[in-house]
Structure 1
Amino acid sequence: MTKPMSSPDGNRPGREDDHLPRKALLISGIMVLAILAVCILPVSADAPTVTISDYKVSPSVLMPDTLGTITITIENTASSASVSESSGPITTNTFQTVKTTDINVNIQNVHLEGNGIDVLTKDFSQVGEIGPGQSIPITFSIESPDKSGIYFPEVWIDTDGGRSTKYPIPVNVDTAIGIQKKAILILDSSLTGDVNPGDEAPVNLTVTNAGQFLADDVTLSIANVSGTVAPKTSDLYHLGTIGPGGQKTLNLVLLTDKTANPGLVQVPVTIGYTTIDGTPTIQTADIDMMLKGKAELGFVSVDTSPPRLTENDPFDLTIRIENTGTGDAKQVSAKVDLPAEGTKEAFIGKITPGNDAPALFLLEGMKGGDYPYNLTVSYVDDMGAHTLTRQMNMRVPPADRSGNIILALIVLGILGFLAYRYWYLPSKKGDGTFPWVKKN
């Protein structure tokens, strides 16, 4: 029998040919796995679900047999899906593609089961799709029952795939359950009389606790309204503790700026207190102050034209009136009661603060002498109607009659001389008869 020939390396002839089928099978398997890897798409995603993320009952407490609304917010809790695609041989050079796809939820029907509450709105059917993280509000009209209590209507939500969600909504019908009891501080302010810019304003403050629990460490902080109103002394006041239904009063003085414009001024007040559980609380309020401008009229000058009056000659009288107050003087008029004919009343109009205006009177002549008279000024400001009267005096120099006296003296002298010459001398030296008398 002939022995098979041996190869130089000692192996039997045909050994290399035996490895070829095995390599082919391995390569074929790898290719099949690669094809399967390309065809199979592994998906990692959350199943689409919905939840009630928020709800609101309006009003928060219903009275029996009254209407209201329930608004729910439906949210899709699903996230976006990550889809991976792989191809090529499974080596270090494997290629991979990641694609993101949104998962929507399709809402088929939304129903509100009353459970004692009368639901007036029909079901919402075929609401539609909402994407991941998106939400949609749904509102139902309801009517409360005639009995007080806490009711729990349920929201039923049906989606594709037969999934459903139920969520109870508490509805309060005329009960104190769930209503927060707390201290409620109310500030009331009162002023004594009208406030004129530049004056001090006494203010009475009353803080009342209208809540059901006490307010501890109550403080009032008065704001400084720049250029208008400011506290005269302190701007922070401590009132202590105010129990339910209790009140405390505070008297303070506010300073007003003289240059402030008349009108409504609101002084902010901050009320700070601590609740029964130790929670610091702050409330805000206002002190309403009505600033009313006050006019103050005076007299600048009194002039006549001509400056030197003459007996029985016409003249003009001018009196300048000024306003030194903080408000406008309106409808200003003036009159004099001089015993003379002419215009003795003048209408001026409006005099603003810091200004003056003339009152002009046209008068006929008067006899010489001193004439006391009254000047009466009427005006209106924010405080109301006012009348101001001032006593004044006017002197009219009498006419100069010295020339007439001298002429009369001259005439009397001439008459005396003639009497002496033609009457006295003849009577004294003769028989007492006048020269023109004939003797018998």
Structure 2
Amino acid sequence: MIIHTTSKNRRLLFSLLLAALLVLAGTCTTASGQETTGSGSGTAQVAITGVTLDPAIFMQGDEGTLTVQIRNSGTSSVSINRADVLSPDIRVVNYQTYDKVGTLGAGNELTFTFVLKAGGTEGTFFPIFYLDFTSAGSMRYPVPVRVDTTGILVSVIKCPEVFSEGERDEITLSVSNPRDNPVNSVTIVPTGAGITASQTSLFIGTLKPDEEKQVTFGITPGQPADLVFEVSYRNGPNLHQESVTVPVTFGDRRIGADLVINNVAVKSAGSGLTITGDVTNAGLKDARSVMVTVGEPARPSDPNPVWVVGTLEPDDFSSFEVSCTAQGAGTIPLIISYRDEEGRTYRETFSVSARTSVSENSPVAGTRQVPAGMNTRGPGGIFMFGSGLGQVPVIPIIVVIIAAIAGIVAWRKGYVQRIRDRFRK
């Protein structure tokens, strides 16, 4: 009898222990996101299904949004008291927005959006998304938020050392994004006193992480000044700016066409003169509509008052021939006009000595002039040069050489021996 009572006590003790374990398991489940309704009709399971940060990486002082989605995957509704974000490092701008949430039905979703503001310290912080259930329990989820002050990089990769007033030059910029998240609405605006740009602004758009783009501006300065390129962009909804300054100073340089002349010759042609030579483009850009003529006191005349060369590329040259009259002039101004890529006209003047003129019918320097009717042959006679070493009789020497070669060939072929044998017989 005593043994039977002890057996019943053991069974009762085992049942109580099992019930306690079940209650403990239910309590643990509630702490992890489950809530048991007061009626006991079912279990409501609330889970986080999505977390989004915009921007993905904050800069110091940036504002952005944290969006959290939750879902009730249970079979009954669950009552939510409030939702909040808790952090000592990241400020929540709309911290009272979700003080009263309400009921989330079975199978339904709910989205919470919080406005966060980064502080002045770089690093990665973990604000906690906190969900407080009405009946019992709560949910906590840490969200990593990274703050990085790195901005986009703007550099000048092509720019002249000095500028010329009123002349157009090109400046090329490189804009790159060294951040780990994209930046948007990248825009470049050039500013400077007395400086005219080909574009008042240039829109690049989105720069992905580690992406680089190059842009070129045409710049025409009217005075020395600082040319500032203001680069604005957005990290999420936040506007940021970077800038690069290019000092515009004037100086002597030749980046355009630079025309030079050489091989100039002046010859008399009847009552006028003919000037010939070569014009070369020693500059760095094309010279267009190149024309050559003469200036006062000389006057252009037919048949070539103006010689049209056309376009001369860098390091290219062309010959010219200009006709003119210049009675009593000691020098002749040779004028070369051309246009640049913008259509501006340039003129360069070169002085040519008129005293070096020679007649086309006159003998050139080094020849002899003799009266008409005289024998113009040299003293060497026919087939001889005029004088000095030129008096050697060329034709007889050639005949002797040919005869010697023929004799050597005949001797080697045996013809000479045969002839001797015939004479002996």
TM-score (norm 1): 0.31
Larger radius of gyration: 1
